[in-house]
Amino acid sequence: MKLTITPEAQEWFKRELELAEGQGIKFYGKVYGKTQVHDGFSVGMAVDSPESPLIEENVNGMMFFVEESDEWFFKGYNLVVDYDRELDEPKYDFNQVLE
């Protein structure tokens, strides 16, 4: 799995969220909603501290991560976190991992 945060998304997170030392933005699978690859589940996002990260990306001093316990949701996909200007919020794109 690869986690990519676009510069536009990173600016949104920087503008909207306050992070304390050791905290980052966690992405996870949550019940309800829909993604391009999941029915009944959507991407959740929270300010948290990593415990057992599956993947961690640091972008301009901000940490973004997915925990091992959420591998089921992201397995076989790369996640691109982008910014939706119209909705003024992050948007999530899943790209299948090619092996």
3-state secondary structure 43-96: EEEEEECCCCEEEEEEECCEEEEEEHHHHHHHCCEEEEEEEECCCCEEEEEEEE
Confidence (pLDDT) at 36: 66
How confident is the prediction for the chain on average, in pLDDT?
90
Counting as low any pLDDT under 70, the low residues of the chain are 33-40, 99
Domain segments of the chain as ranges: 1-20+47-99
Q: What is the pLDDT of residue 41?
A: 76
Strands 3-5 and 77-84: parallel
CA 67/CA 75 separation, integer angstroms: 12
- pLDDT the model gives residue 63: 96
